[in-house]
Structure 1
Amino acid sequence: DVEKELVQHMKKAQLTETTRGGVDHTSRDYPPHDHMVEIQVDLGLGNATAKVLGIDLTHEYVAINADYRS
């Protein structure tokens, strides 16, 4: 079943677990991740491509990283 395969692939690419309270902070120190998710959308409007990179800019993430000094 294609949907089940997609769900499994997305779970492998997920870096943190979402919980009812937000994010599972036990997975905060994850190593670099080599899984990527590619999603294709055909709107029937011609040929175009775009690349989207996701990042974590939640308040807690920014607060934690604001303490770093270079």
Structure 2
Amino acid sequence: MKLSELVVLIKGGGEQASGVAHRLACSHFKVCITEMPNPQAVRRGVAFCEAVYDGEKEIEGVAA
């Protein structure tokens, strides 16, 4: 099995987790992010947790 075939589960979609998810996605990993119903991220404009409210979020070309 290739590493790029693995699914990486990330707990939380805050600013740091979103940075990790973005880098993994750009490296062709499959990424799954879990998030609480009411995200606690401070800078939600640069975090995938905003998808909880908007249904989707795109950061530098990577969509969630």
Classify the TM-score, shorter chain: under 0.3
TM-score by length of 2: 0.25
TM-score by length of 1: 0.24
Larger Rg: 1
Structure having the larger proportion of residues in helix: 2
Query: Which structure has more RCO (C-alpha within 8 Å, separation ≥ 6)?
Result: 2
